[in-house]
Chains A and B, each alone.
Chain A
């Protein structure tokens, strides 16, 4: 039995690794997943696109999205490992620690924005504390924690310890990580701005200026497209999966009204050879299966998304975490609300132009920005409408904004929705939580009232 320990040592897998190997996993999987969530859920609920098949989500037949839940919490365990390694005396690295905190904050904000109260303070402590049934924290507590962690991250990143690999977002450029950190702070401060006075903190961030200043700062994952695992996932799926998504009537109307060239970047003309070859036609959101598939005479009379960009190429799409345009729109809103003193119009127009540039779409900005509906009129809806367009594929950001501001107001439930004409505001908790974390699940549900897709979270009340 003396050789038992050697026999029972796993020869296939290491017990110790360096943080770069984990960081590449976290970034590639979560940021890519964010784009996919934008494609499958964000764009649909915000009606940037519409479903022509399998219209359940578009009709608000919503479930738990447990795959997304598992994805987030699954990646939090890699983040926890990075934190443990980078905080250990022998392998200390404040930059990896800071990056891990930034990514962790981002994931928790998504979790609470999607489900409401979720495990946070006691989460991911199975190994360290033996806690396998973490309590659900309130959304308010989570945001307090997220914002504090981002501040901590900024101070850690400021120390400038070098990053040795694994950084698929910025390739070790710590300045850009600091800009992302503060840009995310802006995002989350604005998120909670109905419940908390965030103006001082926003002012301070703007003053310090360590935020995105151009599209070069964008937090976006570029697909390497060497193999199926590092390619834009839609491009390796069945074409039917790509094809379920179509130009929505909402987008068609707005993009045509504004003569917005993103129409041509994102969508393609209908396939019907009888039609004008340049005809772009959108469909209504929230139709039943039969009504969707026969809408406007069928699938070839409704515009697909731009196939050469979104399906045929494995690396044309970039997976976004956050873009410069969004930061400018947040600042525009902050200025419009008087949180900061700068000129809202400038931020707004910067945001609009940044989005066109991001999508590599040529547009005569002078004309575009001066037309009615686009020209800055001091109203929040104008800002939110352009922010909405700029949120294409950026996870579920436009849904969160809609829940917070009610804009764009033209988002109304589709005719065949099954949710009593309300836009849902959360996903159900996964079945597994009922089974595996029963007591905390039940406490969370009783605090919220019920496990229902129409129960509002703290920041949107």
Chain B
């Protein structure tokens, strides 16, 4: 540009370059960022007087006044930024979206930047939190991309499984994080994911994790499990038009597949020959691998060719005589091991995410629009997950005193097929615990019998199973979900000190799930067509009046008063045609029997008023007081109003007294809070539920849950103490928090003996105490002049939940039951697991102490008494993040370690009885003696010497009722994330339209170290619609992913 001037310089931090600092001329569009040498250059500046502003996180802002004349090249030389006495200037978004100085906070909170979650990304943003924040536990789901992730903060305050999720808030609007199950109609559950997974990482500016009730008191009931505040990106700070383009491509493969044996094939007693797959041959009805040794002998198999040109398993089309006997002959084929048959069923999945965002702004306003397209193909054939997100965020200052803003996210997610979970033929992992180890998986790919396409599947067994490819391609569970999360907001500056915010927002979801089952499916001989419609709407309208005033030199006061009206509406419809007239037509008109129908709608309203006061003294002592009152429609008239207060205090010790010079900053904080909680809609009075009619007789069932008209709101009280210390000019930061919370009058659905007429009753009960510590350590162990830098961060947390009290006369609460029972016993730890096992010698003086006792026939004795088998919760969790940067390179490595906890594996138990698992090879030929003792008539013991057949031994020992045998240590260490990125030096792209280009190679969940070799202990199971931890129930393998990320800024 003619006559324009140029400014350049180098940004340094007492000697080493500072890449990434923001440099711009105030009130203009001119600006840039420093490159990895700390250098910057702004060209084409119109001559004039400017203020040059240099900002960088963790450093004090620097302003330089410049006066530019035509064609001047102003070299400012070395500009040294002062490390701000760290964090002092940091601000964090806190409850109700209020920005607070981090140093003033009276509670523990952690903030994650959006970019930490986008290069090595998780499709489900919940997973991105794993290992990154102390006290946050994330358990990834078991159905691949798109599955539910269970997240808990500071342990399980509620004893109700699935009710421990923190509240997710997007731009001030609470959103639902529900997992809605679809059991029933004879279908197994499908995991359609948790609500928060709809959030698109590309649009997230930051996530603040508010952990304890002190931090969340202003959110009321729903904040009692912590709050995750998501702030979406805006165009703020942009000068002119900015465009970013991000491309992420990752490949996924199964992380760990059970170890199967490869020495014996299908059958029983060492014998097998296929005839029709119904038992017409030798053990061809047997779906277990107790058959002949895989020694290459010739055996007729399901895929052996016949003289009629078909496959032996084409029973429905092979020629037959008038007696129904096949008239063609099948030719025996080699009986050989197929070590990779199951492994080969899984494929390499991929996820392609493309994001384009445009920002723009000026002094009065800004906006950002963003489009993101995510396409995933799963590691199971014909499974996918797609998500498109349209995001808009804008604000405009209409008047000096009036600002309007809005953010809207429209998200469409869909899938043509999501895999089924749990135990049964619809789950692919179930098929592998009942399988023939000799089966060539390729032989099943052509899954129709010729001429009977759409009518009759082809399989290796017809008694029990569906062909796995038939299951994946014909029996699909699709969904298509629209979600809109949006708000409009008005900020009014009434006076210099008084502001008013008005806001209304909505989280709207509409999900249509469509399941199809083809003819000849085991469970649906004549097919099935089913739709589940799930509609949810939550509206929140709130206001906040805020006043802040510097009273005198020492005191500053901030106070606010606000209110919120919330209305939740949910509608659920399920309609199913459980048999069809014509194959291949999937709609309700084609139903061959009366439709099965379910309908459930609910509505809930909560009104709230709240106020808070912040007082600061000399900017080193801070006091927070909050109070909130809720009125909930779900509680009885007399108990539907409840108030809860919180008080917090923090002191910057380093500003109050002289500390040794190594301590650059020290703060202590303490807080106390009470949080109330309501319940779900319709928990006060019993109702009858409709069943499907029997013939022409309509039917209803009595409620299995005893409702309660005298419910009270629950109350949780917590204390929190913490310290934030930074050493060596901020190169080491340590934040320690100790907390103790106790929930009283918890509203529980307490399981009761069914002999009382109910399975559970709703009551206020108990006192659950959680206490724990969280340690966050940040350090820069190495920082060299040549710009090499090593940052390390450790997030450690340990939580203990204890049951202090239940109700009078009751000392055990059954948290969940899915083969194992998770019990809360008074005095016991939350998450204790009980189950049955074998009788052991319990005399500590016996030389056989601890050994399993057997009967005279050599079978171990089962103990009908439940025994404690461990605890599902980890003893501690540790995330360990290291970042190495050098010039434009950055290498990040995140380890996630969970120590302790147990998990029950149904795959190992059932695969143990079916001869599938690797360990079942031992003893097949010669039998096996079960380890332990036999009790003599005189009460003494002798070593067991009775040899059982191999099959009897495994059948008895791994019986699925012997939960003890299937228990494994759930401790694991995962290489959660590896990321190597390179930012192309700005001088190389100086002349291009690009402002910055960053290329990354990324990987997630690349390695797993754990006790067992069969499955990932980080797993969930479903039971009756509830997500149950601590059980591996035919879980789809978790996946590792690797790929690259390209980020371009224009």
Interface residues of A, Cβ cutoff 8 Å to B: 1, 3-5, 7-15, 17, 20-22, 24-25, 28, 53, 56, 61, 63, 69-70, 73-74, 76-78, 80-81, 118-119, 123-127, 131-134, 165-166, 168, 224, 226-230, 236, 238-240, 243, 271, 273, 277, 288-291, 293-294, 297-300, 416, 418, 420, 428-429, 431-438, 451-452
* Contact, CB under 8 Å: A289 / B706: no
Contact A21 B699 (CB under 8 A): yes
Contact across chains for B952 and A168 when beta carbons are under 8 A apart: no
Contact A436 B814 (CB under 8 A): yes
The winner among A53, A119, A224, A416 for most chain B CB atoms within 10 A is A53
Residues of A within 8 Å of B814, CB to CB, are: 432, 435-436
Cα(A298)–Cα(B602), bound, Å: 56
- Would B754 and A74 count as touching, CB distance under 8 A? yes
CB-based contact A24/B961 at 8 Å = no
* A-B CB contacts (within 8 Å), total count: 262
Known: A15-B685, A228-B579, A290-B268. A133 touches B283 (CB 8 A): no
Residue-wise, chain B 678-701 has the 8 Å CB interface mask toward A (1 for contact) of 000110111111111111111111
**CA of A14 to CA of B686, assembled, Å:** 9
Distance in Å: Cβ of B59 to nearest Cβ of chain A: 52
Contact B269 A290 (CB under 8 A): yes
B: residues with CB less than 8 A from A are 186, 268-269, 271, 275, 278-283, 285-287, 290, 323, 325, 425, 462-464, 522-523, 525, 578-579, 593-594, 596, 599-605, 607, 631-634, 637, 640-641, 681-682, 684-702, 704, 706, 751-759, 761, 809, 811-812, 814, 817, 821, 823, 834, 836, 855-857, 859, 864-866, 949, 951-952, 955-956, 959, 961
CB A223 to nearest CB in B, in angstroms, measures 8
Contacting pair A125 B756 (CB below 8 A): yes
A238-B463, A293-B286, A434-B865 known; A227 vs B692 contact (CB < 8 Å): yes
A234 to chain B, nearest CB (A): 13
Given contacts A10-B682, A271-B279, contact A132 B698 (CB under 8 A): no
Most B CB within 10 A of own CB, among A230, A420, A433 = A230
When distances are taken between beta carbons in the complex, the residues of chain A under 8 Å from B523 are 238
Residues in B neighbouring A10, C-beta threshold 8 A = 602, 681-682, 685, 687
Which residues from A are CB-within-8-Å of B821?
A: 431-432, 435
| Min CB gap B872→A, angstroms | 16
Given A243-B279, A451-B864: A8 in contact with B634 (beta carbons within 8 A):
yes
CA A420 to CA B695, docked complex, whole Å: 46
* Cβ A7 vs Cβ B753 within 8 A: no
Given contacts A224-B694, A436-B814, contact A289 B951 (CB under 8 A): yes
Contacts of B956 in A (CB 8 A): 61, 418
Q: Once the chains bind, are A224 and B757 in contact (CB under 8 Å)?
A: no
Q: How far is the CB of B1026 from chain A (nearest CB, A)?
A: 16
The reply to whether B578 and A133 contact each other, CB–CB distance below 8 Å, is no
- Within the assembled complex, what's the spacing in Å between the Cα atoms of A363 and B268? 40
Taking the nearest CB of chain B, how far is it from the CB of A321, in angstroms?
15
Residues of B within 8 A of A118 (CB): 755
6 closest Cβ pairs, A-B complex: A224-B695, A240-B463, A126-B756, A13-B687, A293-B268, A299-B279
Bound complex: CA A435 to CA B855 (Å) = 27
Q: In the docked arrangement, what's the CA distance between A61 and B268, Å?
A: 20
Whole-angstrom distance between the Cβ of A103 and the nearest chain B Cβ: 14
With A239-B278, A299-B283, A436-B814 already in contact, the answer to whether A168 and B756 are too (CB < 8 A) is no
B285 touching A299, Cβ below 8 Å: yes
Contacting residue for A289 out of B268, B691, B811, B836, CB 8 A: B268
* A residues in contact with B287, CB < 8 Å: 240
In the complex, A340→B696 CA distance in Å?
43
Contacts of B699 in A (CB 8 A): 21-22, 24-25, 28
Given contacts A63-B961, A290-B290, A298-B282, contact A21 B596 (CB under 8 A): no
Q: How far is the CB of A454 from chain B (nearest CB, A)?
A: 12
Partner of A293 from the list B186, B283, B859 (CB cut-off 8 Å) is: B283
A76 to B755, CA, bound (A): 9
Residues of A within 8 A of B280 (CB): 271, 299-300
* Shortest beta-carbon distance from A317 to chain B in Å: 15
Say yes or no: B836 contacts A126, CB within 8 Å: no
B752: chain A residues at CB < 8 Å are 126, 132-133, 436
Q: Which of A81, A133, A294 contacts B753 (CB 8 A)?
A: A133
With known contacts A78-B701, A226-B593, A226-B594, A134–B579 Cβ distance under 8 A: no
Check B757 against A13 for contact (C-beta < 8 Å).
Answer: no
CB <8 Å contact, A290 and B594: no
Instruction: Give the shortest distance, in Å, between A332 (CB) and chain B (any CB).
Output: 35
Q: Contact: B687 with A61, CB < 8 Å?
A: no
Shortest distance in angstroms between A77's beta carbon and chain B's nearest beta carbon?
Answer: 4
Report the separation of the CA atoms of residues A89 and B894 in the bound assembly, to the nearest whole angstrom.
Answer: 71
Q: Is the CB of A8 within 8 A of B688?
A: no
List 21 A–B pairs whose Cβ atoms lie within 8 Å, in order of A's numbering.
Answer: A1-B631, A13-B689, A15-B687, A17-B700, A22-B699, A22-B701, A28-B694, A63-B961, A73-B757, A127-B758, A134-B756, A168-B697, A224-B696, A227-B594, A230-B693, A238-B522, A240-B285, A273-B325, A299-B280, A437-B753, A452-B864
A295 and chain B: residue at smallest CB distance: B269
Among residues of B, the one whose C-beta sits closest to the C-beta of A135 is B755
B697 contacts A288, CB within 8 Å? no
Provide the bound-state CA to CA distance between A271 and B463, in Å.
15
Known: A53-B285, A77-B757, A298-B279. 17 other contacts (CB 8 A): A8-B684, A11-B601, A12-B602, A13-B687, A22-B688, A24-B697, A28-B699, A74-B759, A78-B702, A124-B755, A124-B757, A168-B695, A168-B697, A226-B594, A243-B278, A431-B866, A433-B755
Out of B275, B631, B691, name the residue touching A25 (CB < 8 Å). B691
- Chain B residue numbers with a CB within 8 Å of A230 are 692-695
Residues of B within 8 A of A291 (CB): 269
- B681 close to A13 (CB less than 8 A): no
Most buried by B among A7, A13, A298: A298
Q: What are the residues of chain A within 8 A of B634 when measuring CB–CB? A: 8
- Point out which of A8, A291, A293 has the most chain B C-beta atoms below 10 A from its C-beta: A8
- Tell me, in angstroms, the Cα distance from A66 to B718 when the chains sit together: 41
Establish whether residues B692 and A290, one from each chain, have CB atoms under 8 Å apart when the complex forms. Answer: no
Within 8 Å CB of A1, what residues of B? 607, 631, 633, 640-641
Please, which residues of chain A bring their CB within 8 A of the CB of B864? 428-429, 451-452
Pair B951/A418 contact, Cβ less than 8 Å? no
**Residues of chain B with a CB closer than 8 A to A77's CB:** 702, 704, 757-758
Contact indicator B753/A74 (Cβ below 8 Å): no
Q: How far is the CB of A205 from the nearest CB of chain B, in Å?
A: 31
B706 interface neighbour in A8, A17, A126, Cβ under 8 Å: A126
Q: How far is the CB of A348 from chain B (nearest CB, A)?
A: 36
Query: A300–B600 contact, CB under 8 A?
Result: no
A308 CB, min distance to chain B CBs, angstroms: 13
